């Protein structure tokens, strides 16, 4: 990791390691090709209104959505961008530095959104976005350990400064817990076989790399499954990633906290990438909209899905779903 910043940022409140960031290079519709944000226009259309002044991007990543919010909202609005990945945050810090004090970047977990916002003096907001999951640079960098396509350490932590790695989980969890984890978070029908094979393999030698794990998975599943439409390690890797980062546990409480901070008329948009996430978003929105004391109105009766054109340009968009709620005035709530 390099140690210099190429452009000096402004409005930064967090204390995190500086990394060298090069924001030059190819551009896409969001103005940058590192990560291709999904639903860029749709999210901006939902969130950027004449009255909106304070936005929270709970998953700022490589700054695609945030950059667009700040551009569209012109000089009025400020944005607080949160991410638990230091590299992503450092990149966005440089990318959004042209907006000066209008872009405030904070390292943290959006599970702590209330405390993080309080620290920067924000208690009410007009718009918020959670673009769940991992970014393309996280997936594409073998040293992060998210990908079964390339070799790297079994890490998978979004925040590399804390927490349990995927390697620690696969080498230490009892077989039954490992099987349950792979089944619940990966919806993997061969979870028991895979867990058994992992335990056998680690008795010989601890699994150290993504390729060690991929080889064990490959050997444990039926040949037809190995040759299936999706790579046979996809679901196990998804399960481990979700467990390592507690991805599902934080969604509902964070949505409730954000809704609590929204001004009447303010909106929250959530983009999910698999059914486990989307189910939680849907149920939480439904619960918050329940009569007789609804806190929100659900603006997307069915989730929005990306256009064919967006999927062609960005295959990662294929599984994306967008749901949006609007905070109701206090009188609807009492
Ligand atoms: C899909 S990417 C977001 C991309 C972003 N919208 C953009 O345009 O570049 C998801 C980001 O959310 C971050 N993230 C995921 N879960 C998080 C959490 N609980 N707290 C903070 N950041 C999180 C990841 O580190 C990643 O950078």
57 by Cβ neighbours in 10 Å (0-12 / 13-18 / 19+) ranks as buried
Half-sphere exposure of residue 247: CA atoms within 13 angstroms, side-chain side: 27
Ligand 1 within 6 A of CB of 131: yes
Give the Å distance between the CA of 194 and the centre of ligand 1. Answer: 29
Three-state secondary structure of 148-210: CCCCCECCCCCCCCCCCCHHHHHHHCCHHHHHHHHHHHHCCCCHHHHHHHHHHHHHHCCCCEH
For residue 273 and ligand 1, the question of a CB distance below 6 A is answered with no
269 near 47, Cβ under 8 Å? yes
For ligand 1, atom 4: residue with the closest CA: 61
The per-residue pLDDT of the chain, averaged, comes to 90
For 21, the token pair is 């960031």
CB of 39 closer than 6 A to ligand 1?
no
How remote is the CA of residue 41 from the centroid of ligand 1, in Å?
Answer: 18
CATH superfamily, region 146-244? Putative methyltransferase TM0872, insert domain (1.10.150.170)
Residue pLDDT, tens place only, 3-60:
223 333 333 333 333 445 565 555 666 666 677 899 999 999 999 988 779 999 999 9
Q: Would the CB of 62 count as within 6 Å of ligand 1?
A: yes
What is the rounded CA–CA span in Å between residue 215 and residue 224?
16
Give the position, in ligand 1's atom list, of the atom nearest the Cα of 85: 25
- Which one is predicted more confidently, 1 or 116? 116
Q: Where in the chain is the domain with CATH 3.40.50.150?
A: 40-133+248-333
- CB-based contacts of 35, cutoff 8 Å, min separation 6: 61, 62, 64, 135, 136, 137
Q: What is the pLDDT of residues 119-169, one digit of tens each?
A: 999 999 999 999 999 999 999 999 999 999 999 999 999 999 999 999 999
Q: Could you tell me the two tokens for 255?
A: 């949505």
Instruction: Confirm or reject: Cβ of 37 under 6 Å from ligand 1.
Output: yes
Q: Is 35 in the pocket of ligand 1 (CB under 6 A)?
A: yes
CATH 1.10.150.170 residue ranges of the chain are 146-244
Does 81 sit in the ligand 1 pocket, CB within 6 Å?
Answer: no
pLDDT tens-place string over residues 188-204: 999 999 999 999 999 99
Q: Encoding tokens for residue 273?
A: 């990438």
Distance 239 CA to ligand 1 centre (A): 17
pLDDT above 70 for 2: no
Say which residues have a Cβ less than 8 Å from residue 95's Cβ, sequence separation at least 6.
Answer: 21, 23, 32, 62, 63, 67
Cα of 209 vs centre of ligand 1, distance in Å, is 24
Q: Is 152 in the pocket of ligand 1 (CB under 6 A)?
A: no
Q: Which residue's CA lies nearest to atom 22 of ligand 1?
A: 83
Residue of 27, 37, 41, 83 with the most ligand 1 atoms within 8 Å of its CB, for mutation: 83
Instruction: Tell me how far the alpha carbon of residue 132 lies from the centroid of ligand 1, in angstroms.
Output: 6
Decide whether any atom of ligand 1 lies within 6 Å of the 63 Cβ: yes
Ligand 1 atom with minimal separation from the 57 CA: 6
pLDDT in tens, 49-100: 887 799 999 999 999 999 999 999 877 799 999 999 999 999 999 999 999 9
Asked whether 65 lines ligand 1 (CB < 6 A), one says yes
Please state the CATH superfamily assignment of the domain spanning residues 40-133+248-333 in this structure: Vaccinia Virus protein VP39 (3.40.50.150)
């Amino acid at each position: 990791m390099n140690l210099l910043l190429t452009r000096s940022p402004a409005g930064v409140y967090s204390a995190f390691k500086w990394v060298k960031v090069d924001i030059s290079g190819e551009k896409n519709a969001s103005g940058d090709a590192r990560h291709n944000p999904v639903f860029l226009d749709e999210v901006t259309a939902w969130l950027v209104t004449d009255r909106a002044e304070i936005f929270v991007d709970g998953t700022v990543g490589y700054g695609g959505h945030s950059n667009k919010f700040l551009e569209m909202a012109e000089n009025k609005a400020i944005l607080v961008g949160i991410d638990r990945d230091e590299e992503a945050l450092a990149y966005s810090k440089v990318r959004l530095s042209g907006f000066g004090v209008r872009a405030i970047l904070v390292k943290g977990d959006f599970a702590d959104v209330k405390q993080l916002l309080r620290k920067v003096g924000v208690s009410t907001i007009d718009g918020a976005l959670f673009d769940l999951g991992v970014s393309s640079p996280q997936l594409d960098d073998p040293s992060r350990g998210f990908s079964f396509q390339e070799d790297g350490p079994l890490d998978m932590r979004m925040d590399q400064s804390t927490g349990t790695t995927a390697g620690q989980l696969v080498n230490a969890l009892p077989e039954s817990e490992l099987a349950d984890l792979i089944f619940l978070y990966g919806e993997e029908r061969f979870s028991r076989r895979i867990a058994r094979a992992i335990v056998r393999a680690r008795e010989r030698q601890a699994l150290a790399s993504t390729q060690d794990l991929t080889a064990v998975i490959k050997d444990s599943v039926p040949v037809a499954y190995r040759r299936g439409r999706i790579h046979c390690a996809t679901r196990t890797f998804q399960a481990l990633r979700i467990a390592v980062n507690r991805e599902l546990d934080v969604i509902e409480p964070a949505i409730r906290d954000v809704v609590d901070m929204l001004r009447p008329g303010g909106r929250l948009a959530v983009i999910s990438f698999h059914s486990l996430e989307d189910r939680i978003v849907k149920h939480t929105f439904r619960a918050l909209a329940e009569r007789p004391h609804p806190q929100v109105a659900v603006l997307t009766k069915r989730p929005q899905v990306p256009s064919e054109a967006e999927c062609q340009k960005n295959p990662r968009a294929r599984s994306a779903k967008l749901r949006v709620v609007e905070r109701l005035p206090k009188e609807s709530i009492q």
